[in-house]
Amino acid sequence: MGLLGGIFQKISKIMSGQKIDDQFFDELEEQMILADIGGVTAMELVDHLRLRSRKEKMDSVEAVAASLKAEVAAMLAQGDHELKLEKGSLKVILFLGVNGVGKTTTIGKLASQLKRDGYKVVVAAADTFRAAAIDQLEVWCQRAQVDLIRHQEGSDPGSVVYDALAAARSRKADVLLVDTAGRLQNKANLMEELKKICRIIQRECPGQPDEVLLVLDAATGQNALSQARLFKEAAGVTGVVLTKLDGTAKGGIVLGIQNEYELPVKYTGWGEGIEDLKPFNAVEFSERLFANETESEG
C-alpha cells in the first residue's frame, strides 16, 4: 500500500527498547506530529496513553503500542462513515475542495459505483470556471454511463445546479452529484458561491443536500486541516473523501480531521482507476497505519 503502511514505523523504532517515562512520551508525541496527525490530536492521544500507562502500570513497549493502536482505532471509528441513500426521493451530494485534490475524478468514480449498485445518477458540472474540469467530468460520466448537466465555461454555477435539479427530478434520478469550483478570485468569493449553491439546492429540494463531501489530498498534510476548517464553516461539510493515498501520503491526517473537526471520512482514493475509490473502513485503515512496509505490501 505504498508508504501509508509505514506511517508508524518511526514511532515503533522510538518505542523499541525504551523505558516508559516522560521522555518516551515526549518523543512519541513529536513523531506523531511529524506523521501529520496534527498537534491537538497527537497531544490528546499521548495524554490518554500517559494516564492509561500509569493507571494500568504498563512497563513494556508492547503494552503501550497495543493501547495506542486501540486509541487510534476508536478515534477512527467515530462518526457515521456510510452514505445512506434510499431510492424513491432525490438525494443531492455536493462536492467541495480546492483545485488539484482529485474532486472531479472522485465524482466520476462514485457515479460509476452508484450506477453499478442500481441507482439512477445525474451529475452537475457546476465548476464552470475551468473548461478542463467540465470536459474531464464529461469523460468520467461517459465511462460511468450517467447523465451530465453542463453549461458553457463561465456560466453561472447556480443556474447549472438549478437546471440539474430539474433534470434529475424529471428523469426520476435517485442521486444528483454536484461538482463545484475550487478557486475563484479569492477565498471570500469562493465561499459565497458555495453558500449560494447550497441555498438553491435547499430552496428547490428541501432537506438537501443529503451530504456535503470535502475532497482532500492526503499528501497536503497539515494544510488539509485548515481546508477542513474553512469549508466546514462555509458550507456545512458532513464528511471527507481522502485521495491520493497510493503515493507519498502518510495518512495520519485522517485522525486530525475526525478528532478536531468531527468530520468522518466516507471514502478513500487509492489510484486513478474507476474502481480505486473505497468506502472508509476504520478497522482496516487502523491496521494499515500500524503495519510495517512488508505487511502493507503483502
Domain containing residue 165: 91-280
Q: Decide if 14 is inside a domain.
A: yes
Question: Is there a single domain that holds both residue 65 and residue 144?
Answer: no
Residues 58 and 163 placed together within one structural domain of the fold = no
Q: Are residues 97 and 244 in the same domain?
A: yes
Q: Does a structural domain hold residue 286?
A: no
What percentage of the chain has pLDDT greater than the value 90? 42
If asked whether residues 47 and 70 sit together in one domain, one would say yes
33-60 pLDDT, tens per residue?
877 788 889 899 999 999 998 898 887 8
pLDDT in tens, 176-185: 999 998 875 4
Task: Note the pLDDT tens digit of each residue in 203-262.
Answer: 999 999 999 999 998 888 778 888 888 888 878 899 999 998 875 556 778 888 888 888
Same domain, 99 and 132: yes
Q: What is the pLDDT of residue 122?
A: 98
pLDDT in tens, 120-140: 999 999 999 888 889 999 999
Q: What's the domain count of the chain? A: 2
How far, in Å, CA of 106 to CA of 214, rounded? 11
Tell me the CATH number at 54. Answer: 1.20.120.140
Highest mean pLDDT among 9-13, 70-74, 124-128, 218-222: 124-128
Same domain, 95 and 45: no
Residue 225 makes CB contacts below 8 A (sequence gap 6+) with 38, 253, 256, 257, 260, 261
Report pLDDT for 162: 97
Same domain for 270 and 124? yes
Q: What is the pLDDT of residue 34?
A: 79
Whether 187 and 249 map to the same domain: the answer is yes
Q: Which residues pair with 147 in a beta bridge?
A: 122
Instruction: Please check whether residues 44 and 116 belong to one and the same domain.
Output: no
Query: Residue 86: inside a domain, yes or no?
Result: no
The whole-model pTM stands at: 0.87
pLDDT exceeds cutoff 60 at 15? yes
For residues 139 and 207, membership in a common domain is answered with yes
Surface-to-core class of residue 16, CB atoms within 10 Å of its CB (0-12 exposed, 13-18 middle, 19+ buried): exposed
Mean pLDDT value across the chain: 85
Residues 195, 133, single domain; the answer is yes
Q: Tell me if 246 sits within 8 A of 217, measured CB to CB.
A: no
All cell numbers assigned to 151: 453549461
- Which of 295, 247, 96 has its CA nearest to residue 181? 96
For residues 112 and 145, give the distance between their C-alpha atoms in angstroms, rounded to a whole number.
7
226 and 249 in a single domain? The answer is yes
Q: Classify residue 273: in a domain, yes or no.
A: yes
Q: Scanning the structure block, which residue is given the C-alpha cell 473505497?
A: 278
